[in-house]
Structures are given as C-alpha cells and as structure tokens.
Amino acid sequence: MEAPALLNRELSILKFNERVLSMAERADTPLLERLRYLCIVSSNLDEFFEIRIASLKEQQRQTPGLIGVDGLSPEEAFERVQRAAHLLVERENRLLTAEVMPQLLAVGVGLLYASSWNETQRSWAYELFHRDVIPMLTPIGLDPAHPFPRVYNKSLNFIVALTGQDAFGREGNIAIVQAPRALPRMIKVPEGIAGIPDGFMLLTTLISAFVGELFPGMDVQGCYQWRVTRNSDLFVDEEEITNLRQALQGELSQRNFGASVRLEIAHAMPPDLEVFLQREFGLGKADTYRVNGPVNLARLMQLCNRVNRPELEYPVYRPKVPAPFDGDLDKPADLFAAITAGDHLLHHPYQSFQPVLQFLTAAATDPLVVAIKQTIYRTGEDSELMGLLLSAARAGKEVTVVVELMARFDEQTNINWAARLEEVGAHVSYGVVGHKTHAKMALVLRREDGRIRRYGHLGTGNYHPRTARVYTDFGLLTANQQMCEDMDQIFSLLTGLGARRALKLLLQSPFTLHETIQALIWGETENARAGKRARIMAKMNALQEPGTIQALYEASRAGVRIDLIVRGACALQPGVPGQSENIRVRSIIGRFLEHSRVFYFYQEGLEAVYLSSADWMDRNFFRRVELGFPVLDKKLKRRVIDEAFTFALHDNQLAWQVLPDGRYVRAKNRRAPMNLHQHLMARLGG
C-alpha cells in the first residue's frame, strides 16, 4: 500500500497560531490577556519566518523539484503557506485595531496616537522628541553618496518621501530613518497629560509626528514604518570547527544580517515606496505584509507587563509546594532522605518549581555531596539555578554541566553561562557535535556510609524558573539507583568518548528511544490482532516523524484505540477510513502552554508510562540527545495518566479536534463544562 501523504508542517504550525489567536478572540479572556495572546502570535510568526519560511526559500533554490512527504513541491508549499500567513496576519491586525485596543482604551489603558492628541499631549510629545529622541536619530538621504543602509533583522525603520532642495541644492526624494535599539519602543505618559490612568506613546508615533524636524526646509510627503525579517538559522560547519563556542560566537554576529524573508510595511505606504523596498531586499508581493498598527506587534507585550490592572488579567495563581517539600526539610540530609523514601512527581506550573531548587540548593550546600552533573538547554539570563551551580563549584564540588550552545535564540545566554561556569572551575561540555543535547536531567552524587549514592531529577521541560510558571511539564525526583546509574552513563557519553552503552531503564535518542517507541506501538498492534485489549495515548508538542506515523496508522488498522494530544504541528491525518479511523487527535490551547511529553501503552494491563524530553519528530529521534524515563511508582503512574490524559480527553473548553483534512474544530461533548487548566489548578493547587 502506498504511504499516504502527510499534512504539511508549516501549514500545521500556522493552524496552531490560529488556535492561539482564538484565545485573544474569546470574550471571556481578560483584556490584557487578549493582548498578550496577540503578542504571542506575533512573536511566534517572527520565528516562523526566520526559520520555517527561510527553510522553504532555501528548498525552492536548492531542490525545486523535490516532492515532500506532504505531496507538495517547495513552490506549492510556499504559495499555500504564504496565503495562510497573510490571512492570519490580517485577522490578527483586525482583532487588535477593531476590538482589543478600543476595549482597553475604554477602561483607561491604551496608546495615544498623534491624530487624537490635544495641545497638552502634543507639547509633551514634542518636548520628549527633542530631548530624548532626535539626538539619537541619523536620517539618511538616499543618493550616490548615501547608499541604502545595512538593516538589522526585525529593526524598526521609516521610509520618508521628501520634496524640495536642501542646503547643498540636492533634490529631496527618499530618506531612511532607523530607530536606534537604545530607544524605548513605548513611553509611559503621565496620567494628568494622558487623561487616562495607563496611557502610552509608541516611538513610531513620535517619529512619524515630528519627522519633519529631521529635514528642515524640506517638505515631508509621508513617513511610513517598516521592518524586514531575515533568515536567522545559524550555520556552523561542525565537521571543520575545533572550538564550537568560538565558531558560534562568530556566527551569532552575522545572524541579524541573513537573507531577507519578509517585509512588513505600514498599511498606508504608497505602492511606489513598497516596490522600492521590495527591490532593495529582493522580495516580492507575497513576501510583503501590510499591517494596520505597529509593524512589530509583539512590542505591545511591554504594555501587558507595565500595566498593573489585576482585574484585566487572569487571577493570580500561586502554585503549592507539594509535600514533603513544604515541610521541615531545612537540612540537606532530610531532603535526600525524603527522596530515598520514594519517587516524587512534580507537575508544573500547577505545582511549584521550588522542590527542584531545594534539591539543587541541598546539593550545593551539603558537605557530603561530592559532585553535581546537569544538562542546560534553556535557563534564562538571571537564573537562581545557575547561581547554585556556580556556588557549588566555588565550594570545591565537582560540577559538570553539559551546556547546549545551539539552543535556538538562547545561544548567547548559554555562551555567557558557559564562560562563567568555567571561570569558577566547573567542567563545561557542549555535548556531542551534530546532536543537540535536549535531555533534561540533574544528577547528584553523595557520599553516604563510605559509598556513593546517586539522586536524580529528570524532566520534560527546561531548568527555567520563569517558564516553569507558564509551561506545563512533569518532573521526577528519584533515588532509584538503576535510573540514576543510567543518567551517569549518559553524562559519561556526553562528556567523554566511548561505545554506546546499554541502559537499564532510560530510553535515549539517538539510540533506543525511537526503536523502543516503535516496538511499543507494534506490541499494541499485535495484541489488537490477537483480539486483546490494546490502547495507545501520547501527548507531545509536535508529531512529524513519518516512521512513527506509519506505525500508528498500522496500529489503527489493527484496531488499536489511539488518542493523541498534540499541541502544535501534527502531520498525522486522523479519522481516515481504512487508515486512521481509530485515531483521535486533539490540541489543548489555554492559559498555560502545553509542553510535557507523555507516552502510554496498555501492555496487557501493565500500563507502561514514559515521560520524555522528546517530541515525535525526526530531529528528536535521530539528531538530538533526548531521554525517556518510566514512571514506576503505581500511584504516580495513576497521577500521570489522569493529569496528562483522562482530564485532557474530557476537556470541552480548551480542546480542539483535528479533522482528516487537517482543519481544527472546537472539541465538544455533552459532559458538564471541563477546563483542563482550571481543573488541575484546583486539584493540585488547593
């Protein structure tokens, strides 16, 4: 049987952003949260163009005739994706200007545009412009002596149409004004001047209103904001380099000047100026997006963060610190004894990230702890966790940190942390060239009664306290020696050299994770064919790997009941007769970002449950170092099944069902209203 075409990855990513945008469209979403969702979509689209559209353009240049697994050529895929992206951007801007901003203004939060300024506001803005803005601006009149300036990725720029003669007798035509990155994009206006409690002016408004001050004696015919998005995927020839950190540092400096992939322009920009910019950047009509509002909508996230109006946001949720970490565990020995007594499951953000910090604090301060080993993918610029590792190294403990330098858009932060760790004597490794280290694990070695005992933390998410408040992830604190020995083996493989090692409990990419998942799917398939009960449930961020999808199709044809919860891109076509009629796929979009990866196989009642750092994608299975770890404790296993699957499959408020053609519709059932996030906040938060 010919393998069926899979759904297009880029179109599926755009559909995910449509679902995020739907949260901004909901009337029951608080107003500032509606704006926040709009900003999230805008930020997501930036990365989408920087990486995915850039990749499509490369495919058009290098392999124009290649048909992808979705049955589309690069040209066909590009056309469909650009068409869908334009519709999404139009919908996003319409929602911003017609609903969200007017409703915010009605409750005293908003932007003051020049068209509505009174005299007091105009005078205040004029003084601000002359005092703080104009000294920083360098207008560039385009002529043979002043070529088009080099434009930074996603920087704010203005194109100004001019007439008249300047002091040298030069005829005015076109000038470019670049907004320096040092200037704030949003300025708070005093309430007495704004006339509302939370009034702001955008830098774009100030420059557009007073741009004539930059061109004395000339006539300004128009001033229009624009920005260009560039290919931001880094290329490092990993076979040629001798020092990854140095090579990456050099590449980062050029990231902001990659090939142009998108042009965003003000809605009112005349066609001749649009064509001028398109020609300058080698872009066409399909690459050009007219926006009604700021060309960088994501900048409005500052408004969300600077306005203190709790009634316009989600009610504050403070996650509980679960037992026994909420009690008297002041001594490191008590904490390690609690972990020895049994595994502890953490479900963030419903439960606090504090136990992880307590675990590492105990490791850093306990004189019996001799070594700490940890992987770092993303952790943030101001990280308490990294401070603990620095303290431990200063205290003379053996600290080994595997830092993934190629964590996209966090490269510079990770380079900085690597340098600081090395300065205090930590052993810093960058993992395996050609394989990103995406596994999340921390291992503590403690000397007890003359022997080394290991304690570990494994997770589905990053060691990032800020994202632990908004990303849903599972973590496991364990003293299971087989599991911890496996972790130690993996660390040795990452920092040293040696043959592939047999692990007792953990699954590892690029070695055993994919083959084990395939075997587990096949086991359910065989059980179904034998007339036995068979069941598969899996939760992840993305499902793209063709081999795994084909195995799921085969399982469906055998009669296995399959439920998949895929937050983002999904290439699998569910509900197709003769192929996938036993597969249901849903996506949960709500207050928190669904991020955990959980895999369930019935296994004739044994119920194998794995937590993992890996999505079911080619890169996770074959080009990354990933982990899958079993949940062995029966009570914790039951918790994972309920919290990852049972409640999510009953949700009828946040869930979307995938149709065979890849469209998403809101999931409905006749049960009482069920909101997964609210349910788990109540259940785990108390």
What's the rounded mean pLDDT across residues 89-100?
96
438 within some domain: yes
Number of domains in the chain: 4
The reply to whether 162 and 299 lie within a common domain is yes
Question: Comparing C-alpha atoms, which of 35, 37, 39 is closest to residue 100?
Answer: 35
Type of residue numbered 162: L
Gyration radius of the chain's alpha carbons: 27
Question: Comparing C-alpha atoms, which of 47, 38, 32, 36 is closest to residue 18?
Answer: 38
The reply to whether 351 and 395 lie within a common domain is yes
Tens digit of pLDDT for each residue in 526-549? 999 999 999 999 999 999 999 999
Assigned token pair, 675: 């909101």
Q: Of 138-147, 287-296, 297-306, 531-540, which range is least confident? A: 138-147
Q: Between the CA of residue 326 and those of 319, 320, 455, what are the distances in Å? A: 12, 8, 19
Between CA 267 and CA 76 the distance in angstroms is 27
What's the rounded mean pLDDT across residues 325-354?
93
Q: Of 50-59, 100-109, 309-318, 350-359, which range is least confident? A: 50-59
- Residue 602: its pLDDT value, please? 98
The reply to whether 521 and 455 lie within a common domain is no
Cβ-based neighbour number of residue 44 at 10 Å: 18
DSSP 577-600: TTTTTTEEEEEE-SSSEE--EEEE
State the pairing for strand pair 436-437/624-630.
parallel
The reply to whether 649 and 550 lie within a common domain is yes
240, pLDDT greater than 50:
no
CATH code for the domain in which residue 70 is found: 1.20.58.310
The reply to whether 487 and 357 lie within a common domain is yes
Sign of CA dihedral 179, 184, 185, 190: negative
Q: Of 23-37, 152-166, 213-227, 374-388, which range is least confident? A: 374-388
Type of residue numbered 488: D
- Residue 410: its pLDDT value, please? 66
| Domain C-terminal end among 107, 132, 159 | 107
What rounded mean pLDDT belongs to the chain?
91
The reply to whether 291 and 146 lie within a common domain is yes
Q: Between the CA of residue 123 and those of 136, 137, 194, what are the distances in Å? A: 20, 20, 12
322 within some domain: no
Assigned token pair, 636: 């914790």
The reply to whether 194 and 229 lie within a common domain is yes
DSSP category for residue 71: S
- Residue 249: its pLDDT value, please? 53
The reply to whether 67 and 140 lie within a common domain is no
Q: Contact at 8 Å (CB) between 319 and 471?
A: no
DSSP 5-49: PPPPHHHHHHHHHHHHHHHHH-TTS-HHHHHHHHHHHHHHHHHII
Q: Of 116-130, 162-176, 468-482, 602-616, which range is least confident? A: 162-176
Q: Of 87-91, 402-406, 446-450, which range is least confident? A: 402-406
- For 490, residues 6+ apart whose C-beta sits below 8 A from its C-beta are 439, 441, 503, 506, 508, 625, 627
484 within some domain: yes
Between CA 68 and CA 8 the distance in angstroms is 9
76, pLDDT greater than 50:
yes
- Residue 3: its pLDDT value, please? 47
Type of residue numbered 207: I
- Residue 500: its pLDDT value, please? 80
Q: Exposed/middle/buried for 497, CB within 10 Å: 0-12, 13-18, 19+?
A: exposed
342 within some domain: yes
311 within some domain: no
Task: Read off the pLDDT band of 145 (50, 70, 90).
Answer: low
Question: Comparing C-alpha atoms, which of 28, 6, 24 is closest to residue 88?
Answer: 24
The reply to whether 48 and 15 lie within a common domain is yes
CATH code for the domain in which residue 191 is found: 3.30.1840.10
3-class secondary-structure state, position 605: helix
316 within some domain: no
Q: Between the CA of residue 337 and those of 122, 368, 512, what are the distances in Å? A: 66, 13, 32
DSSP category for residue 190: P
Between CA 485 and CA 157 the distance in angstroms is 55
Domain limits at 73? Answer: 1-107
pTM of the model: 0.91
| Domain C-terminal end among 107, 128, 152 | 107
Q: Between the CA of residue 335 and those of 6, 52, 415, 463, what are the distances in Å? A: 49, 45, 32, 19
The reply to whether 130 and 271 lie within a common domain is yes
Between CA 54 and CA 135 the distance in angstroms is 36
| Domain C-terminal end among 288, 304, 320 | 304
Between CA 686 and CA 678 the distance in angstroms is 11
State the pairing for strand pair 398-403/427-429.
parallel
Q: Exposed/middle/buried for 132, CB within 10 Å: 0-12, 13-18, 19+?
A: middle
- Residue 172: its pLDDT value, please? 66
3-class secondary-structure state, position 575: coil
The reply to whether 532 and 627 lie within a common domain is yes
317 within some domain: no
The reply to whether 382 and 526 lie within a common domain is no
- Residue 380: its pLDDT value, please? 74
Between CA 219 and CA 265 the distance in angstroms is 22
Q: Contact at 8 Å (CB) between 230 and 256?
A: yes
Catalytic residues: 438
Characterize 180-206 residue by residue with b for buried, 16 or more Cβ atoms within 10 angstroms of its Cβ, and e for exposed. Answer: eeeeebbbebeeeebebebbbbbbbbb
Tens digit of pLDDT for each residue in 636-679? 999 999 999 999 999 999 999 999 999 999 998 777 899 999 99
Task: Read off the pLDDT band of 466 (50, 70, 90).
Answer: confident
What's the rounded mean pLDDT across residues 587-613?
97
Between CA 348 and CA 474 the distance in angstroms is 6
93 within some domain: yes
- Residue 318: its pLDDT value, please? 93
| More reliable by pLDDT, 246 or 382 | 382
- For 57, residues 6+ apart whose C-beta sits below 8 A from its C-beta are 78, 231, 259, 261
State the pairing for strand pair 535-540/507-509.
unpaired
CATH code for the domain in which residue 384 is found: 3.30.870.10
Q: Between the CA of residue 552 and those of 11, 580, 599, what are the distances in Å? A: 22, 8, 13
